[in-house]
């Protein structure tokens, strides 16, 4: 059976009340760009793996990689609100996390470099990234440490005008194709640091494969964007590649965490709306018992509920973005947006599979891929439990639980 999805539904043109015109323009332009990379492209990337280079190149050539980067280094100098509008539109086009994660790190990942790098570093690092010549990965998570980041074990030992780095990282996205990595490593042993969050330094440096073995992890979804174990053994990193002060790296990456949560929320909302659009279109078309399945309230109501929940998550995400862009604190809102969006996305994808019945389990209807990808937004970069702990402590004033 061939389904014709109305273009307005696939492009997510559900009412965009209150969205600034600039963001609406960005979404429309990204929709046009993504239309070149249809469902067949993403289905094949998901089946065969391999980084979506053609898509990445088109985004870079359109100048989009620098959307939130400073203008003096070739970026557009826009805010997280605009970057989120872009990333939502990417995911919503049907590219899902296969498309969004291919770009994600390059859109806002280098925020600590933008905020704390020297002028020389910004010129050296940002311009090639924005032009699409260099890809970056973000190496934080470690196998024996998990969410307890301040206890990371990767060590950087000073040796003249270099550091020598050794340790292990896990789940590092795009390390197969990245030329550079943003890396956290401990420069002062935890016992000699005033607080566990001190003594960690941040580096943006060459992913030199002579000293870093990159081993891909076979995983549930998003095959197009690799995830990897990194075995780092004696990697020499020039002091000139350290971002900010020695020992303050953990505090520097905290500045990038809220924007990252906002972007993940935007991507999850986009994927959720893509799944919902497919489900609604299918429910109108599929006739069983002599009428479209979508005429049954038992089918309609879960879909309507998903729309309401996605829309609420979208509004929280936009609210968090506008606070961030206004320089206001937004930790609670960014965390809440990531949590609400990931859960709403998961529910929408699952509902989409169920609405399709048996066809929902077939790859060519795409929603099973969406469901597998939706799980990423729930797990990374922070789990729902830790988001809720943050809100419990910081908003509700409850005692720290861990």
Ligand X SMILES: Cc1cc2nc3c(=O)[nH]c(=O)nc-3n(C[C@H](O)[C@H](O)[C@H](O)COP(=O)(O)OP(=O)(O)OC[C@H]3O[C@@H](n4cnc5c(N)ncnc54)[C@H](O)[C@@H]3O)c2cc1C
Write each residue from 73 to 112 as x if it is in contact with ligand X (CB under 6 A), else as -, in one continuous string: ----------------------------------------
By C-beta, is 58 or 380 nearer to ligand X?
A: 380
Q: Where are the beta strands (DSSP E) in 115-226?
A: 136-139, 155-159, 162-173, 180-186, 200-206, 212-216
DSSP label at residue 245: S
By CB under 6 A, residue 379 contacts ligand X: yes
Tell which positions 218-247 bind ligand X, by CB under 6 A: 227
- In terms of CB distance, is 114 or 137 closer to ligand X? 137
What is the SS3 assignment for 216? strand
Query: Of 382, 381, 399, 384, whose CA–CA distance to 344 is shortest?
Result: 384
* DSSP string across 293-351: GGGSHHHHHHHHHHHHHHHHHHHHHHHHHHHHHTT---HHHHHHHHHHHHHHHHHHHHH
Minimum CB–partner distance for residue 225 and ligand X (Å): 8
Instruction: For residue 280, give the H/E element and its range.
Output: helix 249-285
Contact between 386 and ligand X per CB under 6 A: yes
**In this chain, which of 24, 118, 296, 385 binds ligand X, going by CB under 6 A?**
385
Which of 146, 238, 329, 357 contacts ligand X by CB under 6 A? Answer: 146
Q: Which is nearer to ligand X, 40 or 146 (CB)?
A: 146
Instruction: Give the count of residues interacting with ligand X (CB under 6 A).
Output: 20
CB neighbours (10 Å) of residue 239? 13
Q: Does 150 bind ligand X (CB under 6 A)?
A: no
State which residue, 158 or 215, has the beta carbon closest to ligand X. Answer: 215
Can residue 382 be called a binding residue for ligand X (CB under 6 A)? yes
Does residue 171 bind ligand X (CB under 6 A)?
Answer: yes
Q: Which stretch binds ligand X (CB under 6 A): 171-179, 267-275, 299-307, 392-400?
A: 171-179
For residue 4, the minimal CB distance to ligand X (Å) is 33
- Per the CB < 8 A criterion, the answer to whether 85 and 164 are in contact is no
- 154-180: b (≥16 Cβ within 10 Å) or e: bbbeeeeebbbbbbbbbbbbbbbbbeb
Q: Residue 257's CB: how many other CB atoms inside 10 A? A: 16
Pair type for strands 200-206 and 180-186: antiparallel
Cα–Cα distance list, 268 to 63, 147, 226, 342 (Å): 23, 21, 19, 6
Query: Of residues 173, 201, 258, 351, which one binds ligand X by CB under 6 A?
Result: 173
Which residue lies nearer to ligand X by CB, 116 or 138? 138
Q: Out of 88, 141, 176, 335, point to the residue binding ligand X (CB under 6 A).
A: 141
Closest separation in Å from C-beta 347 to ligand X: 18
| Interface residues toward ligand X, by CB under 6 A | 137-141, 146-147, 171-173, 227, 376, 379-383, 385-386, 402
């Amino acid at each position: 059976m061939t389904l014709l999805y109305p273009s307005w539904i696939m492009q997510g043109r559900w009412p965009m009340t209150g969205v600034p015109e600039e963001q609406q323009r960005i979404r429309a332009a990204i929709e046009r760009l993504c239309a070149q990379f249809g469902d067949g492209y993403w289905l094949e990337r998901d089946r065969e793996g391999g980084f979506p280079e053609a898509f990445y190149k088109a985004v870079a050539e359109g100048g989009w990689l620098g959307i939130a980067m400073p203008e003096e280094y070739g970026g557009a100098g826009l805010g997280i609100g605009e970057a989120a509008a872009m990333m939502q539109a990417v995911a919503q086009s049907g590219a899902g996390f296969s498309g969004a994660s291919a770009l994600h790190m390059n859109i806002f990942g280098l925020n600590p470099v933008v905020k704390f790098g020297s002028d020389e570093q910004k010129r050296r690092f940002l311009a090639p990234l924005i032009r699409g010549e260099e890809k970056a990965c973000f190496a934080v998570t470690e196998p024996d440490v998990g969410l307890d980041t301040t206890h990371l074990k990767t060590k950087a030992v000073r040796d003249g005008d270099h550091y020598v780095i050794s340790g292990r990282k896990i789940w590092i996205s795009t390390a197969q194709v990245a030329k550079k990595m943003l890396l956290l490593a401990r420069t002062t042993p935890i016992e000699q640091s005033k607080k566990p969050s001190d003594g960690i330094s941040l580096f943006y440096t060459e992913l030199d494969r002579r000293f870093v073995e990159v081993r891909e992890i076979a995983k549930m979804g998003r095959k197009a964007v690799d995830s990897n174990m990194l075995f780092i053994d004696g990697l020499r990193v020039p002091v000139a590649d350290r971002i900010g002060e020695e020992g303050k790296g953990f505090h520097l990456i905290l500045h990038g965490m809220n924007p990252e949560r906002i972007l993940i929320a935007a991507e999850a909302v986009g994927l959720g709306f893509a799944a919902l659009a497919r489900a609604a279109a299918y429910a109108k078309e599929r006739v069983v018992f002599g009428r479209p399945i979508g005429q049954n309230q038992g089918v309609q109501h879960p879909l309507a509920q998903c729309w309401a929940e996605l829309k609420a998550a979208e509004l929280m995400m936009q609210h968090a973005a506008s606070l961030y862009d206004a320089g206001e604190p937004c930790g609670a809102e960014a965390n809440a947006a990531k949590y609400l969006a990931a859960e709403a996305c998961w529910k929408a994808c699952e509902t989409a599979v169920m609405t399709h019945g048996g066809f929902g389990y077939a790859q060519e209807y795409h929603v099973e891929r969406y469901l597998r990808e939706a799980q990423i937004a729930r797990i990374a970069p922070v789990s729902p439990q830790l988001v809720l702990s943050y809100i419990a402590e910081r908003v509700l004033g409850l005692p720290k639980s861990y």
